Structure 1
Amino acid sequence: MQGALSIRRSLALFLPVWLMLGLVLAGMVVVATDAGWTNALLFALPMTMVYAFAAGFSAYYLCRAYPLSQKSIWSIVLVLGLAALVSGVLWMAAGLAWNGMLRALEVGWAGLEMPPALKAMVFGLGVILYGLCAVANYLAIEFGRARISERRELESKLMAQEAELRMLRTQIDPHFLFNSLNSISALTSIDPARAREMTLKVADFFRHTLGLEAHTQATVDDEIALVQDFLSIEKVRFGARLAVRCEIDEAARACLLPPMILQPLVENAVKHGIGGLTGGGTVNIVARRDASQLRISVENDVDEDQDSGVPGNGIGLVNVQQRLATAYGHESSVHHARRDNKYRVELTLPARTITEL
């Protein structure tokens, strides 16, 4: 389908150009012979359109047979020069034959006088037009090669980006599993029933995440569902100490983002925020669409005596920053700050849905 459209577009450009050249040739015939415009047009237009296809296809195949990158410039000039001379001679001969047919009609509005100057002009114009066809074909070939090279380079970049995202993504599962096993281990000695419940929920959580492996993007709704699965695991350990509040804008629910991008932020909020509070606290998750941007924030209570930063090695937050930078570049940002015993991480990324891709 694209090939047919490309051919139609090429013809839409090719035919008007040669039609204008036919009009130019007709004007030159009028000046050279004092013939009427009807005679000149009847001679020039059919000649030009026939030559358009003959010279165009001939130059195309020669340019393909003698690519600039593989043949010496002198061999290309020699071959195309000989082809242009032969084409000029053939075009002049075709013009004489066509003019003879027109004159055989013996009407005043058809046929021309063909002085030597006009013959030389037709020959010279044929040589020049053939050379221009060759130049145009070489430009088209090189442009096509450049487009293919750009597409391959883009595909390579996308493959590298996908590999990097996959690598960053694989950091999350072991990190979460390590923290979950520590929690289960702590519960085993004090509450075996809750430890068993948490083990089953962890298994369900990983079963759910395996379904996301084949996807490069998930909706906000999917991410919130995954986060809620994770929080249900943590509630087994924290009980009433862990409160959760979600405010999801309806316009944001269908927006796309990298899968499991929120889970490490919520995990940090629970482990390093709520986990350090004797009385527990609240994790607030807010998602809203702001025109062309999607803004998601994860906020949690922290101990007032805790340092301004969140304790820990920062794997989750750094991973999120790297994944967003790899996926969206300068279109995304991650900001985190502590204020009034609240620690807040806000993500900003392009707001796109499946229908807007």
Structure 2
Amino acid sequence: MHPILSDRRRFLVYIGTWMLIAVLIARLLVANDLTNWTYALWFSVPIALFAGFLTSSAYFVCRSLPFNQRSFSIAALVFCSAALISGMSWLGLCHGWSKVLVAVTDETSAVRISTHLSVLFFITGFAIYLLALLAFDVYIAFDNIREAERREAASRLLARDAELQVLRSQIDPHFLFNSLNSISALTAIDAAAARTMTIALADFFRQTLAIAEKEKISLKEELLLCENFLAVEKIRFGKKLGIEFSVATEAENALIPPMILQPLLENAIKHGIRNLAKGGVIMVTIFQRDRWLHIAVENPLSPVPASSTGNGLGLSNLRQRFFALYGEQARVTWQQTDEKFILEMAMPFEQDNNESVYK
């Protein structure tokens, strides 16, 4: 749609500009003793508004010649031809309107359009239309750049969402795989515990389904998910499994991607606690500092590495997921010794108002 007609404010400014041009034309006519103010305004206002209407058509001329598909010679020919037609049309209107005013008013006040004045009107109409063509051409070029940037941003968003869906599809089966293994093992040992665990797992998966499709959830929701998960694992490991949470009060309302902490606890149990005869304690530390949210998960390891099966979380997937959400504004690192494994995450601190501030 036309950029002037589609915006009321632009339209009013455009009309106001041409009214000022009408006053300027009238002032020049009066200054050269060609007529009085009343007649000058009667003459200049209609021809100025017509010129404004005529000049607005320059936008469609520019649109008919896409910048990336035109040649300089064709553009120059079209632009000059359009400006020439505009100048002649405006000159014709000036002569015609002058005759109409002569017919309905006192001839002594009429503007006598001499050859010199005709040339001046023609050159003015030609120049104004040519300037309008150049102005609209620049506007269209910048509008195309903005549109390309919007399309690129939309493409990046779609690519990010697609990547997140792929990563989630790789992570989600991991929960079901290990859960079924746990139930299978408990069935042969303690049928009542297996039944209790099945019910608990149903509650756990119900919660995961509620939050899995969200891009961000509160830290409180993630911790509640972790508590439900650990309640299930407690049935399996008993006193062998210990957990210590250290969560700073100011970090409780932070927004984080869903299901980033629970799978880390699952990995800590699978690759750490499960392989220790006496078990151990998983330590989770969460705090906010300098507008960043820091999460650390530490678990003990067996001195003798044990083989394990299953999909696993995939720390590289975790990094990719963070990059898809935060770009370079997040960090996932880990280190392993003979006795423990430590994973640390840092991400921009966001609160419920979804306003993020970076360090």
Tell me the TM-score normalised to structure 1 length: 0.79
The answer for the alignment partner of 2:326 in structure 1 is 328
Distance 1:98 1:210, change over 3 A: same
Residues 132-154 of structure 1: CA deviation (Å, up to 9, x unaligned): 22222233334333333332332
Distance 1:18 1:202, change over 3 A: same
Residue type of the alignment partner of 1:209: T
Residue type of the alignment partner of 2:349: A
The answer for the alignment partner of 2:10 in structure 1 is 10
The answer for the alignment partner of 2:351 in structure 1 is 353
Residues 309-337 of structure 1: CA deviation (Å, up to 9, x unaligned): x9888643222111101221101111223
Alpha-carbon distance in structure 2 between the residues aligned to 1:275 and 1:77 = 79
Pair 1:289 & 2:293 matched: no
Alpha-carbon distance in structure 2 between the residues aligned to 1:199 and 1:325 = 35
Q: How does 1:1-357 map to 2 (within 5 A)?
A: 7-11=7-11, 14=14, 33=32, 42=41, 46=45, 49-68=48-67, 77-96=76-95, 101=101, 114-303=113-302, 305=303, 315-338=313-336, 341-357=339-355
* Alignment check: 8 A CA contact 2:332 2:346 kept: yes
Alpha-carbon distance in structure 2 between the residues aligned to 1:155 and 1:25 = 48
Alpha-carbon distance in structure 2 between the residues aligned to 1:92 and 1:173 = 74
- Determine helix, strand or coil for the equivalent of 1:349: strand
* RMSD over aligned Cα atoms: 4.0
Deviation at 1:87, TM superposition (A): 1.9
Deviation at 1:260, TM superposition (A): 1.0
* Alignment check: 8 A CA contact 1:47 1:95 kept: no
Alpha-carbon distance in structure 1 between the residues aligned to 2:51 and 2:256 = 53
* Alignment check: 8 A CA contact 1:55 1:133 kept: no
Alpha-carbon distance in structure 2 between the residues aligned to 1:261 and 1:216 = 12
Deviation at 1:215, TM superposition (A): 2.0
Residues 37-82 of structure 1: CA deviation (Å, up to 9, x unaligned): 9699848973674145312332233334454556766555444433
Alpha-carbon distance in structure 2 between the residues aligned to 1:297 and 1:44 = 80
Distance 1:121 1:251, change over 3 A: farther
Alpha-carbon distance in structure 1 between the residues aligned to 2:164 and 2:126 = 57
Alpha-carbon distance in structure 1 between the residues aligned to 2:208 and 2:83 = 67
Distance 1:323 1:44, change over 3 A: farther
Distance 1:49 1:280, change over 3 A: farther
Deviation at 1:16, TM superposition (A): 6.6
Alpha-carbon distance in structure 2 between the residues aligned to 1:276 and 1:48 = 91
Deviation at 1:104, TM superposition (A): 8.5
Distance 1:218 1:12, change over 3 A: farther
Deviates more, 1:9-18 or 1:287-296: 9-18
Unaligned runs of 5+ in 1: none
Residue type of the alignment partner of 1:57: S
Alpha-carbon distance in structure 2 between the residues aligned to 1:4 and 1:194 = 73
Deviation at 1:343, TM superposition (A): 3.0
Residue type of the alignment partner of 1:62: V
How many aligned positions are there?
Answer: 350
Unaligned runs of 5+ in 2: none
Distance 1:274 1:46, change over 3 A: same
Alpha-carbon distance in structure 1 between the residues aligned to 2:5 and 2:308 = 60
Deviation at 1:86, TM superposition (A): 2.5
Alpha-carbon distance in structure 2 between the residues aligned to 1:236 and 1:52 = 85
Alpha-carbon distance in structure 2 between the residues aligned to 1:5 and 1:125 = 24
- Determine helix, strand or coil for the equivalent of 1:331: coil
Residues 252-271 of structure 1: CA deviation (Å, up to 9, x unaligned): 33332222111221111222
- Determine helix, strand or coil for the equivalent of 1:146: helix
Deviates more, 1:313-322 or 1:206-215: 313-322
Residues 71-126 of structure 1: CA deviation (Å, up to 9, x unaligned): 76655544443332232123234344566749997799x87665433331221121
Alpha-carbon distance in structure 1 between the residues aligned to 2:5 and 2:95 = 37
Residues 182-231 of structure 1: CA deviation (Å, up to 9, x unaligned): 33333333333323322332232222212234322222121111111111
Alpha-carbon distance in structure 1 between the residues aligned to 2:301 and 2:36 = 91
- Determine helix, strand or coil for the equivalent of 2:350: coil
- Determine helix, strand or coil for the equivalent of 1:244: strand
- Determine helix, strand or coil for the equivalent of 2:213: coil
- Determine helix, strand or coil for the equivalent of 1:230: helix
* Alignment check: 8 A CA contact 1:219 1:256 kept: yes
